[in-house]
Amino acid sequence: MSHPLHSLHNEIDPGSIAARDLAHVLHPTTNLADFHRDGPVVHDRAKGVYLWDNRGKQYIEGMAGLWCTALGYGEEELANTAAEQLRKLSYSQLFAAKTHEPSVLLAEKLKEMVPFDAGRVYFGLSGSDANDTQVKLMWYYHNLIGRPERKKIISRRGGFHGVTVAAGSLTGLPPFHKHFDLPIPNVLHTDSPFYYREAREGETEEEFTTRLANNLDDLIESEGPETIAAFIAEPVMGAGGVVVPPSGYFAKIQEVLRRHRVFFIDDEVVTGFGRTGNPFGADTFDIEPTTMSLAKALSSAYLPISATLIPEFMYEPFIEASREVGVFGHGFTYTGHPVCAALALRNLELMEEREIFHHAARVGEIFQARLRSFEDHPLVGNVRGVGLIGAIEMVADKESKAQFPAAAGVGAYCLNRALEHGLILRNLGDAMAFCPPLIIDDNQVDELFGKFEKALSETLDYVGRL
């Protein structure tokens, strides 16, 4: 069952932006059948944690765009930085030993900030291409050091690492594979750390995490440890349902990886820069990465930029290879774009100057308390979260954890009621995801959950009519 987006947008005027969008634009990650029935919501302007559509309706941003608008909307400092850099040096490339100040300064800044010994920073434009780059560099490095058999990358079911060919293969969600001929060879998937859904009856968190670590060990042994290049994980699964790992999970996983000399790719695209109450998800969950992927909050989504960070020991063979094959054969036209780099650097400086990480950690405690206040609601089966990210999962039966039939569209209904009340969320099945801008304040947290409470109450009424 599907539902119109909201009543303001059921009538689409011919010749309007909405009608022209319907005629011309291919939308990503969208139910295209519903889209062609209901049309789009047209955003017109935004400031702070609020957006307005082209009919004047105001919304509070509960998803930081796509987990990315950390500093909110309309930040003049970032607009001015971009404008100044556009006037000074609108484009320069990093091919053929060329460089420019913004990319150098940003690389230095990132190496200072990340919680591991990063040696080199490669810039891209999205989390997808950052993780594609990770795959290529893993293959390249192991070929160069005489271990070409180390090709396989282990990801997790339910993980999200992007949608390009390699990153989409790493992603462990069926809609991103079906009919796309993914995953490609040499990508494996192990268990999701989703205790609420994946634990066996009576299994404790300790037993659950031990089983998952043993399963990973068995997978590596069965494939051959000498064939495994790396394991990739998000500290908190985002699109897979906002899955916060049980205590001790990453410690046990890393013990297995170290024993088999398998690299750890830390995908911080969603969790990087304050989202989990610490600067990085690696800090929150005691992850010791080999490499790291960054995007989203890196620029607070004001401009597209990503970063792939690798240790110096991986970079050194690249130099030797150039003596044999010439150029390092990887790079994008917009790698290290000076405007994107300058803006990202200023974004990180503003986070420090305004103590955004501290603010997010403090408000995150209030946010988590409000989130958990819904645990006793008759429609809520599970509440999970950390810092300023979380999810509320609706179920047909709290005791058995039984899910609603997909055709009932319960999550979609709740999402649409939230929109009616001026709240932007995202439904991941019947789990409602929350990920507000890091600048959200105490009163705005109350406003956000007040609107959600109305939507949830209306959803309960809807379920009663099924």
Digit-by-digit pLDDT tens for the chain (466 residues) are 444 444 444 578 889 999 999 999 999 999 999 999 999 999 999 999 999 999 999 999 999 999 999 999 999 999 999 999 999 999 999 999 999 999 999 999 999 999 999 999 999 999 999 999 999 999 999 999 999 999 999 999 999 999 999 999 999 999 999 999 999 999 999 999 999 999 999 999 999 999 999 999 999 999 999 999 999 999 999 999 999 999 999 999 999 999 999 999 999 999 999 999 999 999 999 999 999 999 999 999 999 999 999 999 999 999 999 999 999 999 999 999 999 999 999 999 999 999 999 999 999 999 999 999 999 999 999 999 999 999 999 999 999 999 999 999 999 999 999 999 999 999 999 999 999 999 999 999 999 999 999 999 999 999 999 8
Q: How many CB atoms lie within 10 A of CB 260?
A: 15
Buried b (16+ CB within 10 A) or exposed e, 299-315: bbbbbbbbbbbbbeebe
Q: How many CB atoms lie within 10 A of CB 201?
A: 4
Supply the pTM of this predicted model: 0.95
Do residues 52 and 337 make contact, with C-beta atoms less than 8 angstroms apart? no
Distance, CA of 278 to CA of 268 (rounded, Å)? 12
Among 2.60.120.560, 3.40.50.2000, 3.40.50.720, 3.90.1150.10, name the CATH number for the domain at 7-74+356-465: 3.90.1150.10
Distance, CA of 214 to CA of 57 (rounded, Å)? 52
CB under 8 Å to 104, separation ≥6 — which residues?
A: none
What is the CA 281 to chain-centroid distance, rounded?
A: 12
According to the model, what pLDDT value does residue 12 have?
Answer: 85
According to the model, what pLDDT value does residue 464 have?
Answer: 96
Do residues 188 and 154 make contact, with C-beta atoms less than 8 angstroms apart? yes
Tell me the two tokens of residue 270: 């969603």
One-letter amino acid identity for 441? Answer: D
Q: How many CB atoms lie within 10 A of CB 90?
A: 10
Kindly list the domain boundaries of the chain, sorted by start residue: 7-74+356-465, 76-353
CATH of domain 76-353: 3.40.640.10
Q: pLDDT digits over 270-308, tens only?
A: 999 999 999 999 999 999 999 999 999 999 999 999 999
Handedness of CA 275, 277, 281, 283 (dihedral sign): positive
Using CA atoms, how far residue 405 sits from 1, 181, 197, 418, in Å, is 10, 27, 16, 21
Torsion of CA 318, 324, 326, 331, to 10 degrees: -30
Distance, CA of 363 to CA of 369 (rounded, Å)? 10
